[in-house]
């Protein structure tokens, strides 16, 4: 070793503890912590296993939020849709970006600690080049990638610990969701319904990456529900899992939302097509299906029911029960009862204009369809809500203080689709509607001129809407609600991130970012100060909807691209 | 597998020598794979042939027609219309080069009189070939915007001008769509060179 190298090594060795000293030692994430997360942290996709998107922090309130100011900002260096929440564990922040990167930062300052870049194949098509967040468990950080790998990273160094191929990306399987961590397992689900996959949810040993179980979302021959698919249509039946499941530690059941059946035209797969467009209750230890509810059968509208329902113990119209609440892409707000197995229908009603369901069976909730608004091969029909639904992937939020459920919605918007025959080619789109038709599907109504995007607040006790905030065009903004009587969200094409009074919907603060905000906001506390964090970075579905709007509206809007993590706090 | 081994000019009236090094790299990887005994398809003499990019002399076959591959002709490509998706075809071996998405091309036909001299020179009687893989996020460039005169990708609406060497005219793509020179052999479409630059997404 030369003297100079020796000196450098010595200097590095001396410096390392100094730099690390700025932060406390990393706190391992245990099951106990995930079941009862500390108020100062945001340990998972929706902050708690119930999926609320709620933080009890209340330093920032409806009274002082108008003074909220920038603490720091950080360029991710990536374009496209930034959708992941900044996930925070005692001063360490973990943010995932498009192209399967994870950045670890000091939560207080935005100083980069490490960055992980997953190499992705040159040939990969990324229809949804995004990622919706990491999972924390033990000393590790887990990311699911668009080339269908699950990767475990060392939380302190960002080094790969293990990497498991979950499915074959060449057949159209990919992942965008934040994994769910519980009881020694890391659970993920696969996207790719538009490429003719057979969807599944799978669990991997957190320590080794070995597959523990795999449960298909599309029932096969001989399985319960297998007779709802003709011939071998189940093999390409879709049923994507786009979004992290929620979890009830008392019953050890995880609840997952399942996407639409594929291809799109219902006559190509006559039957109910279980378990597409459903919620599934899976035992976390075994993957066994313990219960389900299919929101709508034999889908024809691309209405993925992607979000997992929120777990809320509530009283609704005089009945006290453990609920599952889901704002459906099909435009209905669903209330179900969860048990130690079966899922029971309780109530549902439309939260946006919906012209497809003529009625729901009062006992089972099974909808009856209006054939005039049900697409089919060789048939052109108009239906509302549009193929993006009443609510797409952006998560709703529930605030136990106000008792209100907040929904980022699209109202007054319809689609027109013409079904056509489709042939399966491995790795190619498998829709049954021409791409040209998909791009020009939007049909505005006279009401669209009043507004389209909404933030809605619903009193779950009474089933009444308490307030609605409207936007002229889209709302792709995931919501955060806090103990400070606040709701935060972006989602509009004017680049703004806003705070609302959670009780009455009044806009109390807004901030124009560098791009559109479709990231999941989070909040956390370090050294006695509360921070509110969100990623800006317009892309994927929001951008596609903008393209479709530009095709039919007089005004054309281009939203600038580029990912930035924005972090706000009150002035000292 | 690593494709992007050589940087090359975005434009240029001769096909940049982008692909030889890449072919060799591909071949090396293939040989290694074969030696490891994984389930490779066997193709006579050249293990990498089906995965290789288009080669001069290759014919082109439609990806959307049924039955045995038939070499496309100039007259098979509709005038100023939605692109035809195609893959390279080696007639002597009856082999379609379908091993890599990056070999896919889209074909469009224009009135040769409407093309500038340089573009006309690499067309086969007005038929132009471009990479079918978007330079933004790797989706398929399969659509035609008639009003804007642009090829475009459905994923994120990047648009490319076929009359201006695949220049980006709208959307998030940062790099033009690579073109593939063609010629006509008694009306049959023949690959006349290599891609003008590396197809697909450039990772950095």
A513–chain B nearest CA distance, Å: 19
Closest CA to A570 of A148, A48, A59, A51: A59
Closest CA to A254 of A44, A482, A430: A44
Task: Check whether A164 has a pLDDT greater than 90.
Answer: yes
Reported confidence tier of residue B148, pLDDT bands at 50, 70, 90: confident
Name the residue among B102, B138, B143 with its Cβ closest to that of A126: B138
Reported confidence tier of residue A151, pLDDT bands at 50, 70, 90: very high
Residue of B nearest to A429 (CA): B140
In a domain, residue B173? The reply is yes
Q: Which two tokens stand for residue A421?
A: 């025959």
A467–chain B nearest CA distance, Å: 34
In a domain, residue B5? The reply is no
Name the residue among B63, B139, B143 with its Cβ closest to that of A125: B139
A545–chain B nearest CA distance, Å: 10
Q: List, for residues B50-74, the tens digit of each pLDDT value.
A: 999 999 999 999 998 888 899 999 9
Residues 6+ apart with CB under 8 A from A202: A166, A187, A188, A189, A190, A211, A212, A213, A214, A215, A287
Count how many residues are written for chain A.
Answer: 572
Task: Check whether A187 has a pLDDT greater than 50.
Answer: yes
pLDDT (average), residues A297-318: 95
A302 assigned to active site = yes
- Identify all chain B residues contacting A561, using CB atoms and an 8 Å cutoff: 172
Asked if A122 lies within 8 A of B3 by C-beta distance, the reply is yes
A125–chain B nearest CA distance, Å: 4
**For the domain that residue B151 is a member of, what is the CATH number?**
2.102.10.10
Q: What is the pLDDT of residue B171?
A: 85
Reported confidence tier of residue B4, pLDDT bands at 50, 70, 90: very low
Name the residue among A127, A425, A539 with its Cβ closest to that of B139: A127
In a domain, residue B11? The reply is no
Reported confidence tier of residue B6, pLDDT bands at 50, 70, 90: very low
Task: Check whether B44 has a pLDDT greater than 50.
Answer: no
Q: Which two tokens stand for residue A44?
A: 């998972």
In a domain, residue B196? The reply is no
A167–chain B nearest CA distance, Å: 17
| pTM value surpassing 0.90 | no
CA distance A556 to A547: 9
Q: List, for residues A32-54, the tens digit of each pLDDT value.
A: 999 999 999 999 999 999 999 99
Q: What is the pLDDT of residue A478?
A: 98
Residue of A nearest to B155 (CA): A127
Asked if A123 lies within 8 A of B4 by C-beta distance, the reply is no
Q: What is the pLDDT of residue B1?
A: 34
Q: Which two tokens stand for residue A108?
A: 């207080």
Q: What is the pLDDT of residue A481?
A: 98
In a domain, residue B128? The reply is yes
The parent domain of residue B134 ranges over 19-191
Task: Check whether A541 has a pLDDT greater than 70.
Answer: yes
Q: Which domains does chain A have, with CATH numbers?
A: 183-387 (2.40.128.630)
Asked if B156 lies within 8 A of A80 by C-beta distance, the reply is yes
CA distance B119 to A422: 35
Q: List, for residues B77-118, the tens digit of each pLDDT value.
A: 999 999 999 999 999 999 999 999 999 999 999 999 999 999
Q: Which two tokens stand for residue A134?
A: 């990491």
Task: Check whether A509 has a pLDDT greater than 60.
Answer: yes
- Residue A115 per-residue DSSP state: E
Asked if B102 lies within 8 A of A122 by C-beta distance, the reply is yes
In a domain, residue B169? The reply is yes
Asked if A435 lies within 8 A of B154 by C-beta distance, the reply is yes
Task: Check whether B2 has a pLDDT greater than 80.
Answer: no
Residue of B nearest to A120 (CA): B203
Contact A386, A413 (CB under 8 A): yes
Mean pLDDT, rounded, of chain A? 95
- Identify all chain A residues contacting B3, using CB atoms and an 8 Å cutoff: 122
Asked if A122 lies within 8 A of B200 by C-beta distance, the reply is yes
Task: Check whether B12 has a pLDDT greater than 60.
Answer: no
Q: What is the pLDDT of residue B203?
A: 60
pLDDT (average), residues A193-220: 98
Question: In chain B, which residues touch A (CB < 8 A)?
Answer: 1-4, 63, 100-102, 133, 137-140, 142-143, 154-157, 172, 200-201, 203
Q: List, for residues A359-405, the tens digit of each pLDDT value.
A: 999 999 999 999 999 999 999 999 999 999 999 999 999 999 999 99
Q: List, for residues A310-366, the tens digit of each pLDDT value.
A: 999 999 888 999 999 999 999 999 999 999 999 999 999 999 999 999 999 999 999
Task: Check whether A180 has a pLDDT greater than 80.
Answer: yes
Task: Check whether B188 has a pLDDT greater than 60.
Answer: yes
Number of folded domains in chain B? 1
Q: Annotate B32-63 with b (16+ C-beta within 10 A) or e (fewer).
A: eeeeeeeebeebeeebbbbbbbbbeebbbbbb
Q: Which two tokens stand for residue A535?
A: 């990623």
In a domain, residue B3? The reply is no
Task: Check whether A28 has a pLDDT greater than 80.
Answer: yes
Q: What is the pLDDT of residue A390?
A: 98
Q: Which residue has the higher pLDDT, A14 or A106?
A: A106
> Out of A302, A304, A347, A541, which one is annotated catalytic?
A302
Asked if B140 lies within 8 A of A429 by C-beta distance, the reply is yes
Task: Check whether B42 has a pLDDT greater than 60.
Answer: no
Closest CA to A429 of A200, A175, A171: A171
Reported confidence tier of residue A435, pLDDT bands at 50, 70, 90: confident
- Identify all chain B residues contacting A146, using CB atoms and an 8 Å cutoff: none
In a domain, residue B199? The reply is no
Q: Which residue has the higher pLDDT, A96 or A318?
A: A96
| Check: complex ipTM more than 0.85 | no
Reported confidence tier of residue A4, pLDDT bands at 50, 70, 90: low
- Residue A268 per-residue DSSP state: G
Closest CA to A182 of A47, A31, A341, A29: A31
Asked if B100 lies within 8 A of A123 by C-beta distance, the reply is yes
């Amino acid at each position: 070793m030369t003297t100079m190298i020796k000196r450098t090594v010595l200097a590095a060795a001396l410096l390392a503890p100094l730099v690390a000293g700025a932060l406390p030692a990393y706190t391992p994430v245990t099951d106990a912590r995930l079941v009862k997360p500390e108020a100062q942290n945001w340990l998972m996709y929706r902050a708690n296993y119930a999926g609320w998107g709620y933080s009890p922090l209340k330093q920032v309130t409806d009274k002082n939020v108008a003074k909220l100011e920038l603490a720091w900002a950080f360029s991710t260096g990536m374009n496209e849709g930034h959708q992941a929440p900044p996930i925070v564990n005692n001063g360490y922040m973990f943010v995932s970006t498009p192209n399967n990167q994870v950045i670890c930062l000091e939560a207080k300052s935005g100083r980069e600690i490490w960055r992980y870049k997953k190499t992705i194949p040159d040939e990969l098509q990324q229809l949804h080049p995004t990622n919706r967040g990491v999972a924390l468990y033990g000393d590790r950080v887990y990311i699911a990638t668009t080339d269908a790998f699950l990767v475990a990273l060392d939380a302190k160094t960002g080094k790969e610990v293990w990497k498991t191929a979950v499915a074959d990306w060449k057949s159209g399987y990919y992942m965008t969701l934040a994994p769910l961590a519980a009881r020694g397992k890391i659970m993920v689900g696969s996207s790719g319904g538009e490429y003719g996959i057979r969807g599944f949810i799978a669990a991997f040993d957190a320590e080794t990456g070995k597959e523990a179980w795999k449960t298909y979302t599309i029932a096969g021959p001989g399985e319960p529900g297998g007779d709802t698919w003709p011939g071998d249509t189940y093999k390409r039946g879709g049923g994507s899992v786009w979004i992290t499941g929620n979890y009830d530690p008392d019953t050890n059941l995880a609840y997952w939302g399942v996407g639409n059946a594929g291809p799109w035209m219902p006559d190509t797969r006559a039957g109910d097509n279980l378990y597409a467009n459903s919620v599934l209750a899976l035992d976390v230890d075994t993957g066994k299906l313990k219960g389900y509810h299919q929101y709508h059968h034999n889908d024809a509208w691309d209405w993925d029911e992607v979000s997992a329902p929120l777990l809320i113990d509530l009283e609704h119209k005089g009945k006290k029960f453990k609920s599952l609440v889901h704002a459906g892409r099909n435009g209905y707000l669903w209330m179900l009862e969860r048990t130690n197995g079966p899922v029971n229908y309780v109530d549902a009603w439309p939260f946006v204009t919906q012209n497809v369901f003529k009625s729901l069976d009062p006992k089972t909730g099974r909808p009856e369809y209006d054939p005039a608004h049900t697409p089919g091969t060789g048939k052109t029909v108009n239906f509302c809500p549009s193929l993006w639904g009443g609510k797409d992937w952006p998560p709703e939020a529930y605030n136990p203080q106000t008792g209100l459920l907040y929904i980022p919605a699209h109202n007054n918007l319809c689609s027109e689709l013409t079904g056509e025959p489709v042939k399966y080619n491995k790795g190619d789109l498998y829709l049954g509607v021409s791409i040209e038709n998909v791009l020009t599907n939007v049909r505005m109504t006279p009401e669209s001129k009043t507004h389209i995007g909404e933030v809605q607040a619903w009193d779950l006790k009474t089933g009444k809407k308490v307030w609605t905030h409207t936007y002229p065009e889209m709302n792709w903004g995931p919501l955060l609600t806090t103990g400070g009587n606040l709701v935060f969200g972006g989602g509009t094409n004017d680049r703004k991130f806003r705070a609302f009074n959670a009780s009455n919907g009044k806009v109390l603060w807004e901030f124009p970012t560098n791009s559109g905000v479709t990231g999941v906001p989070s909040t956390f506390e370090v050294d006695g100060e509360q921070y509110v964090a969100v990623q800006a970075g317009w892309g994927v579905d929001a951008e596609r909807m903008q393209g479709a709007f530009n095709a039919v509206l007089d005004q054309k809007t281009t939203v600038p691209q580029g990912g930035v993590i924005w972090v706000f706090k009150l002035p000292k | 597998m690593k494709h992007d081994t050589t940087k090359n000019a975005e434009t240029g009236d001769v096909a940049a020598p982008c692909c030889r090094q890449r072919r060799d790299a591909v071949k090396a990887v293939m040989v290694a794979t074969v030696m490891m005994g994984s389930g490779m398809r066997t193709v006579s003499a050249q293990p990498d042939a089906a995965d290789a990019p288009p080669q001069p002399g290759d014919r082109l076959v439609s990806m959307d027609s049924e039955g045995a591959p038939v070499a496309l002709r100039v007259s098979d490509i509709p005038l100023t219309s939605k692109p035809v998706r195609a893959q390279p075809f080696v007639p002597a071996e009856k082999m379609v080069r379908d091993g890599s998405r990056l070999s896919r091309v889209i074909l469009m036909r224009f009135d040769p009189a409407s093309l500038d001299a340089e573009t006309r020179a690499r067309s086969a009687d007005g038929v132009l070939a471009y990479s079918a893989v978007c330079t933004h996020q790797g989706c398929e460039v399969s659509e035609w915007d008639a009003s804007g005169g642009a090829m475009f990708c459905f994923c994120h609406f990047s648009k490319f001008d076929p009359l201006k060497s695949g220049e980006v005219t709208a959307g998030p793509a940062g790099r033009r769509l690579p073109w593939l020179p063609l010629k006509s052999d008694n009306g049959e479409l023949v690959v006349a060179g290599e891609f003008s630059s590396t197809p697909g997404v450039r990772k950095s």
